[in-house]
Structure 1
């Protein structure tokens, strides 16, 4: 069964090795990084700065193909901070 694998920091080191291994297995690989020049051949590359909550929400939307707002916690204290909810407004809740 072909899986979709998302790897942040997949342009160097262990992340790159993992991306190459998953591509060899036939999986769909999405690498998130800051330098498109280091993109892994055979993987989809998304340029993003994941230290920004707005960027995380944008990338999550691109990966899932959903425009539905995501609830998020910029403090990182809630373990299930990325639950999707229809009644949350991304612009007012997800700020950096």
Structure 2
């Protein structure tokens, strides 16, 4: 006998470490350091370049996660993307999670 399919909606944020690995950020950092050495950049300049590139990736992931979280909440509450999502509805979505035992 087959188990019934679980159709519970889930929201799983994008893992920043996984994104950084997929983008080969460590290799990129190595290339930036090598470039800095070859072009006589200061350590602060090299660090600034690395930080800027990492911050761009982190900002993109944060935006993607925020959009996915809002889409998840809208689906959970039966709202379309044209409906206005109020703070009270956001709180209701989290109450739903607590009532289902989905939060710690």
Q: Specify if TM > 0.5.
A: no
Q: TM-score, structure 1 length as denominator?
A: 0.24
Q: TM-score, structure 2 length as denominator?
A: 0.23
Which has the larger share of strand?
Answer: 1
Larger Rg: 2
Q: Which has the higher contact order (CA 8 A, sep 6+)?
A: 2
